[in-house]
């Protein structure tokens, strides 16, 4: 009996120890999984008191949003909604205990009685949750004619074929400068149609991509650039797949054509079916002579520089056929190639080297026309042609220097059939013609570019001083050349080759004339057709020594500053539906910034835009839409504007994913299981 009593005491003590231990582990386990039902729940709330259903505010006025709070309410964000949809960010308040926020109502808001204020706590507290609050619906009055956009094409009866070129049309009020155009399917953004924006000219030619899903629930959305609440959707329309039989028909040259060797002419054709690329061959007397080009885009036209070694004949033909399938083909009519020397007579000749067939120049910008020449040519005439017709005279007489800076007029019609013709002054038989090139109203995203930030139009430098030339160029440009121009004419080379590091120190020569029409050109060392040109600036003859600190580099100018995006980085992963913090640094006084534009890009296509014009800070809390797809090709684009200038920057590529990190459950053993184990051991010991 004595031995049994001792054993019973041992078992009781062991069970008590097991129970105590399992209780501790159970408590820890519950804390880790946030399900401890004994954790006290705090209470906090916020009630919006202004605006109310009786409120009527006018645009352009300053109003107070007010609320009452109870409990420990933290950092809050205030948003504006209209007709139950997000309209814009109003602001954020770090300490909401004051119960008020002053809001200057933007002039561009549309008049409506269906506005609401939404207030939400930014930092989520699982133990003391905050309930999102909406105000009553209230009215905002805009007696001025608000900006508006109306999409007029496509309509509900439109049926557009993949691979075809269609014209999107719209009307707007006169205050809209630029617009963004996007494609939606089933009320969800499918892709951006315009890179960033296009001029508000009422129409846009869109080549419908092959591979789009065939359906009838597509829409076009057109929004005012910088002011996305001003937008309109088209009717639902159909996109269908091209299922025509593949064919090619050569339309030029025809039997009436006579082309000279050494000149450039346009081969044209039409096609049906799914033909992406084509080849060209030249035939004479039904015999193959040579391949003109291979694997070129099936865009309906090709600029052919006719070789000078071809013999005369009226029995030439051009064969156009599908790349990789010569059975899909067509021959042109027989046409003539003559050897009237024309532009290559004697020792005098002109060859245009820029623009080329890959050039796409933006109207309103400046570009360099370049050429080579032989013989005694002192001056040249430069003309612009479109579809082989004279469009305008660029300059009647200019020195035969081999280059000319052309300020491209804004009024020129957009198109890809332009050519530059350069001829000997007063002898048009000596000439050269460029390849066909494009005039567009934007610079393509991804196109190699150079932008010069210093000098600018406010710059005045002194001879003898040392100044810093600043530029931003595409990353794939390794080295650049730097040249000085005056009055559209080359003056001297500042650097034959220098690293593309964005800056260059230049000691200004004392022999330069005092003028206000100087400019700097920074160009790709490998491809001089890729360049940037500064604004016109001044050089004075008030000679200074290198020790004088008279540099006029104006770092109060926005363009002389930079943005550094701190978050996101290449290691960042954000989750759909969550709030994520965007942070950046800028060495410019943010109080002088009028507007911040933040865009979310996927694969270099804009899918989300936010415009801030109040309470501008160097961070923004972005709500990641739940509808966007997973991917590691997202980037944040930040653009800062003041009244006259802008700077911008892209983040590194980062990831958005639906994956949620979970603790490894194998690292935890529940207290309940431990209690069972110890209990079994104890029973066995009995």
Q: pLDDT by residue (tens digit) across 320-338? A: 999 988 999 999 999 988 8
The answer to whether the 247-338 and 349-440 domains have the same CATH topology is yes
Does domain 45-141 fall under CATH 3.40.1190.20? My reply is no
Fold of 149-240: Immunoglobulin-like (2.60.40)
Q: Is the pLDDT of residue 158 over 50?
A: yes
Q: Is the pLDDT of residue 499 over 50?
A: yes
**The predicted structure's pLDDT at residue 546:** 41
Which position has the higher pLDDT, 310 or 579?
A: 310
374-403 confidence digits (pLDDT tens) = 888 889 999 999 887 888 999 999 988 888
Weakest mean pLDDT among 17-21, 103-107, 531-535: 17-21
pLDDT-derived band at 346 (thresholds 50, 70, 90) equals very low
Q: Indicate the SS3 state at residue 28.
A: helix
Neighbours of 117 (CB within 10 A): 23
Q: Which of 558, 563, 639, 645 is nearest to 596 (CA)?
A: 639
**The predicted structure's pLDDT at residue 157:** 92
64-91 confidence digits (pLDDT tens) = 999 999 888 888 889 999 888 888 889 8
Mean pLDDT for the stretch of residues 424-439? 86
First to last CA, the chain: 14
What CATH superfamily classification does 450-540 receive?
A: Immunoglobulins (2.60.40.10)
Which position has the higher pLDDT, 659 or 383?
A: 383
Q: In what order do the strands lie in the sheet with 264-272?
A: 247-252, 264-272, 301-305
Weakest mean pLDDT among 459-468, 556-565, 626-635: 556-565
Beta strands in 177-236 (DSSP E): 178-185, 188-192, 198-199, 203-207, 215-224, 227-233
Structure tokens at 2: 């004595």
**The predicted structure's pLDDT at residue 278:** 92
**The predicted structure's pLDDT at residue 164:** 84
Asked if residue 491 lies in contact with residue 509, where contact means CB atoms within 8 angstroms, the answer is no
Q: Is the pLDDT of residue 215 over 90?
A: yes
**The predicted structure's pLDDT at residue 42:** 55
pLDDT-derived band at 16 (thresholds 50, 70, 90) equals low
| Cβ burial 589-627 (10 Å sphere, 16+ → b, else e) | eeeebebbbbbbbbeebbbbbbbbbeeeebebebbbeee
Weakest mean pLDDT among 28-32, 101-105, 639-643: 28-32
pLDDT-derived band at 238 (thresholds 50, 70, 90) equals very high
Residue with tokens 């089933």, as numbered in its chain: 186
> Alpha helices of 405-558 — where are they, by DSSP H?
none
CATH class label, 349-440: mainly beta
CATH code, 247-338: 2.60.40.10
In total, the chain counts a number of residues equal to: 686
**The predicted structure's pLDDT at residue 8:** 53
pLDDT-derived band at 31 (thresholds 50, 70, 90) equals very low
Neighbours of 98 (CB within 10 A): 10
Angle ∠(600,558,484) on CA atoms, nearest 5: 110
pLDDT-derived band at 226 (thresholds 50, 70, 90) equals low
Asked if residue 652 lies in contact with residue 568, where contact means CB atoms within 8 angstroms, the answer is yes
Mean pLDDT for the stretch of residues 537-542? 84
**The predicted structure's pLDDT at residue 159:** 92
Mean pLDDT for the stretch of residues 540-552? 52
- Sorted by where each begins, the domain ranges of the chain are 45-141, 149-240, 247-338, 349-440, 450-540, 563-657
Compute the mean pLDDT over every residue in the chain, rounded to the nearest whole number: 79
555: left (phi over 0), alpha (psi -120 to 50) or beta: alpha
Structure tokens at 300: 């309906």
Weakest mean pLDDT among 17-21, 142-146, 497-501, 636-640: 17-21
Q: Indicate the SS3 state at residue 374.
A: strand
Q: Does residue 455 have a cis bond before it (omega within 30 degrees)? A: yes
pLDDT-derived band at 40 (thresholds 50, 70, 90) equals very low
> Alpha helices of 578-629 — where are they, by DSSP H?
none
Q: Which of 189, 193, 199 is nearest to 224 (CA)?
A: 199
**The predicted structure's pLDDT at residue 244:** 67
Q: Is the pLDDT of residue 181 over 70?
A: yes
CATH class label, 563-657: mainly beta
**The predicted structure's pLDDT at residue 29:** 41
What DSSP designation does 214 have? Answer: P
Q: Is the pLDDT of residue 448 over 70?
A: no
Q: Is the pLDDT of residue 2 over 50?
A: no
Give the percent of the chain with pLDDT over 70: 81
């Amino acid at each position: 009996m004595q031995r049994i009593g001792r054993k019973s005491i041992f078992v009781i003590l062991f069970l008590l120890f097991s129970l105590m231990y399992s209780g501790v582990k159970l408590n820890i386990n519950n804390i880790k999984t946030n399900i401890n039902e004994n954790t006290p729940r705090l209470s906090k709330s916020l009630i919006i008191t202004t605006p109310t259903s009786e409120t009527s505010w006018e645009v352009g006025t300053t109003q107070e949003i007010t609320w009452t709070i109870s409990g420990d309410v933290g950092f809050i964000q205030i948003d504006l909604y209209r007709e139950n949809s997000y309209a814009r960010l109003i602001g954020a308040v770090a300490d909401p205990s004051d119960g008020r926020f002053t809001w200057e109502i933007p002039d561009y808001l549309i008049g409506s009685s269906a506005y609401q204020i939404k207030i939400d706590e930014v930092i989520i507290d699982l133990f003391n949750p905050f309930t999102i609050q909406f105000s009553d619906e209230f009215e905002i009055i805009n007696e001025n004619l608000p900006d508006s956009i109306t999409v007029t094409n496509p309509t509900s009866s439109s049926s557009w074929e993949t691979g075809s070129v269609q014209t999107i049309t719209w009307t707007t009020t006169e205050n809209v400068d630029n617009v963004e155009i996007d494609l939606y399917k089933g009320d969800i953004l499918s892709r951006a149609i315009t890179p960033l924006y296009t001029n508000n000219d009422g129409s846009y030619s869109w080549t419908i991509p092959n591979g789009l899903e065939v359906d009838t629930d597509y829409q076009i959305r057109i929004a005012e650039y910088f002011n996305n609440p001003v937008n309109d959707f088209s009717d639902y329309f159909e996109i269908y797949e091209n299922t025509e039989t593949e064919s090619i028909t050569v339309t030029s040259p025809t039997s009436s054509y006579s082309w000279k060797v050494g000149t450039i002419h346009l081969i044209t054709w039409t096609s049906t079916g799914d033909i992406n690329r084509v080849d060209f061959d030249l035939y004479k007397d039904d015999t193959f002579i040579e391949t003109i080009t291979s694997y070129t885009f099936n865009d309906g036209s090709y600029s052919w520089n006719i070789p000078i070694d071809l013999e005369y004949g009226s029995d030439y033909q051009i064969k156009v056929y599908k790349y990789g399938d010569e059975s899909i083909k067509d021959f042109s009519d027989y046409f003539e190639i003559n050897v009237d020397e024309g532009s290559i007579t004697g020792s005098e000749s002109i060859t245009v080297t820029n623009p080329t067939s890959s050039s796409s120049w933006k109207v309103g910008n400046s570009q360099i026309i370049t050429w080579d020449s032989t013989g005694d040519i002192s001056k040249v005439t430069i003309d612009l042609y479109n579809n082989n017709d004279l469009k305008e005279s660029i300059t009647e007489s200019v020195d035969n220097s081999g280059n000319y800076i052309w300020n491209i007029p804004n009024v020129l019609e957009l198109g890809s059939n332009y050519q530059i013709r350069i001829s000997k002054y007063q002898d048009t038989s000596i000439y050269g013609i460029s390849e066909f090139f494009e005039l567009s109203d934007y610079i393509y995203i991804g196109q190699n570019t150079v932008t010069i930030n210093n000098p600018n139009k406010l710059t005045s430098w002194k001879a003898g001083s040392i100044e810093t030339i600043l530029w931003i160029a595409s990353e794939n440009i390794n080295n650049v050349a730097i040249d000085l121009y005056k009055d559209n004419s080359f003056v001297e080379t500042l650097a034959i080759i220098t690293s593309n590091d964005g800056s260059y120190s230049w000691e200004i020569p004392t022999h330069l004339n005092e003028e206000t029409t100087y400019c700097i050109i920074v160009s790709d060392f490998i491809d001089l057709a890729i360049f940037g040109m500064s604004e016109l600036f001044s050089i004075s003859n008030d000679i200074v020594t290198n020790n004088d600190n008279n540099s006029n580099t104006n770092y109060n100018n926005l363009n002389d500053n930079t943005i550094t995006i701190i978050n996101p980085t290449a290691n960042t992963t954000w989750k759909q539906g969550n709030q994520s913090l965007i942070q950046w640094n800028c060495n410019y006084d943010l109080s002088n910034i009028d507007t911040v534009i933040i865009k979310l890009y996927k694969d270099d296509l804009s899918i989300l835009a936010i415009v801030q014009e109040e309470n501008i800070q160097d961070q923004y809390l972005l709500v990641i839409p739940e509808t966007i797809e997973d991917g590691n090709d997202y980037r944040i684009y930040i653009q800062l504007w003041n009244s006259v200038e802008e700077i911008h920057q892209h983040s590194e590529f980062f990831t958005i994913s639906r994956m949620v990190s979970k603790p490894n459950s194998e690292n935890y053993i529940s207290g309940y299981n431990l209690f069972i184990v110890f209990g079994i051991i104890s029973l066995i010991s009995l």
